[in-house]
């Protein structure tokens, strides 16, 4: 990793209003190089491309001043949603480290043109894309209204999302120990309509991630699993930056869960 994930996560915001400049050759080359080598801990390949909006007739009604989009596709296989969310978020964090603004778009895309530009084949999906460019000095009125409506800067409290050994027992930052900063970076993560669907239980050296499901699946899969993938990215990159070793496994601990809560994955601390 060539940037501080923690610093980028803390300062990043979704950008929907751009200043109209093309990406510089240096920034574009750096971004293309980074996304060409991206992997994720789940072994699911995610294919990225930078696409020119004018060339491919790519549009979004919520974006102004963009010239270029970051798009990605993935084959529908086990764990594809969390793998997509993880990889796409890491790409967006790297872009932010270069001063490039992003916002993950799923429902507000000219989807057919994006899929055509990415040559999405049978068995593949394009869950999301993002404009990439330099943020304008001022947000558009449209963006200000959207952010207000979504309460975009609001986040749930630490104890509402993270639990100590079982659901219902709030986890304190003190009790979270070396996992505390990683969980705080999870708390700051973006999500579809700011639902913040991640829930976490810490049990000793294991961190169990769950999805609080509130949006129905579509042909593209479970968009909230993509959100949890974003959270897993924030957590893992922070752990790596802090020098903590761990790995993701899929071993449901069979903890009693509230209604509509689904087990996703476990981070296991290793020596």
135: CATH: 3.40.109.10
Do residue 9 and residue 138 come from a single domain? yes
Q: What are phi and psi of 247, to 5 degrees?
A: -140, 155
Q: Which domain-ending residue is among 87, 114, 142?
A: 142
Instruction: Write b or e for each residue in 4-18: b if 16 or more Cβ atoms lie within 10 A of its Cβ, otherwise e.
Output: ebbebbeebebbbbb
Give CA–CA dist 189/234, Å, rounded: 7
Do residue 137 and residue 219 come from a single domain? no
Q: Which domain-ending residue is among 109, 142, 175?
A: 142
Cα dihedral 253, 256, 259, 261 in deg (nearest 10): -20
Do residue 127 and residue 171 come from a single domain? no
Q: What residues contact residue 1 under an 8 Å CB cut-off, 6+ apart?
A: 237, 240, 241
**pTM for the predicted model, two decimal places:** 0.94
Nearest to 156 by CA among 102, 117, 194: 194
Do residue 225 and residue 99 come from a single domain? no
Profile the chain (271 residues) by mean pLDDT over runs of 10 residues.
93 94 98 98 98 95 95 98 98 98 92 96 97 88 66 80 97 97 97 92 98 92 96 98 98 96 98 74
Contact 98, 30 (CB under 8 A): yes
Cα dihedral 97, 14, 66, 136 in deg (nearest 10): -80
Asked if residue 218 is part of any domain, the answer here is yes
- Going by DSSP bridges, is the β-strand pair 129-132/124-125 parallel, antiparallel, or unpaired? unpaired
Element (H, E) at 129: strand 129-132
Domain count, the chain: 2
Q: Can you say how many angstroms the Cα of residue 61 is from the centroid of all Cα atoms in its chain?
A: 21
Do residue 127 and residue 206 come from a single domain? no
**Encoded tokens for 99:** 């001063």
Cα radius of gyration rounded to whole Å, the chain: 18
25 φψ region: left (φ > 0), alpha (ψ -120 to 50), beta (else): alpha
Q: What is the pLDDT of residue 154?
A: 72
SS3 assignment, position 193: helix
Residue 103 domain boundaries: 5-142
Give CA–CA dist 270/241, Å, rounded: 15
Q: What is the pLDDT of residue 193?
A: 82
Q: Can you say how many angstroms the Cα of residue 265 is from the centroid of all Cα atoms in its chain?
A: 16
Give CA–CA dist 235/182, Å, rounded: 5
Do residue 32 and residue 124 come from a single domain? yes
Asked if residue 152 is part of any domain, the answer here is no
């Amino acid at each position: 990793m060539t940037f501080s994930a923690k610093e980028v996560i803390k300062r990043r915001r979704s950008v929907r209003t751009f200043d109209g400049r093309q990406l510089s050759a240096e920034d574009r080359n750096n971004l293309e190089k980074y996304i060409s080598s991206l992997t994720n801990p789940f072994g699911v390949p995610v294919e990225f491309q930078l696409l020119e909006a004018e060339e491919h007739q790519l549009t979004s009604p919520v974006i102004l001043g963009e010239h270029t989009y970051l798009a990605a596709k993935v084959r529908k296989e086990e764990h594809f949603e969390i793998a997509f969310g993880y990889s796409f978020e890491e790409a967006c964090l790297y872009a932010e480290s270069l001063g490039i603004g992003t916002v993950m778009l799923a429902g507000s895309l000219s989807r057919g043109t994006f899929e055509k530009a990415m040559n999405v084949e049978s068995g593949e999906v394009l869950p999301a894309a993002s404009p990439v460019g330099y943020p304008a000095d001022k947000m558009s009125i449209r963006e200000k209204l959207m952010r207000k409506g979504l309460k975009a800067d609001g986040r749930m409290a630490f104890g509402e999302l993270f639990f100590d050994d079982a659901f219902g027992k709030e986890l304190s930052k003190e009790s979270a120990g070396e996992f505390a900063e990683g969980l705080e970076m999870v708390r700051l993560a973006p999500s579809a309509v700011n639902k913040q669907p991640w829930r976490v239980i810490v049990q000793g050296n294991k961190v169990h991630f769950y999805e609080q499901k509130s949006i129905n699946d579509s042909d593209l899969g479970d968009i909230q699993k993509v959100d949890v993938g974003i959270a897993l990215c924030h957590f893992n990159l922070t752990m790596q930056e802090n020098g903590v070793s761990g790995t993701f496994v899929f071993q449901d601990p069979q903890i009693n869960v509230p209604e509509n809560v689904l087990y996703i994955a476990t981070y296991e601390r290793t020596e």
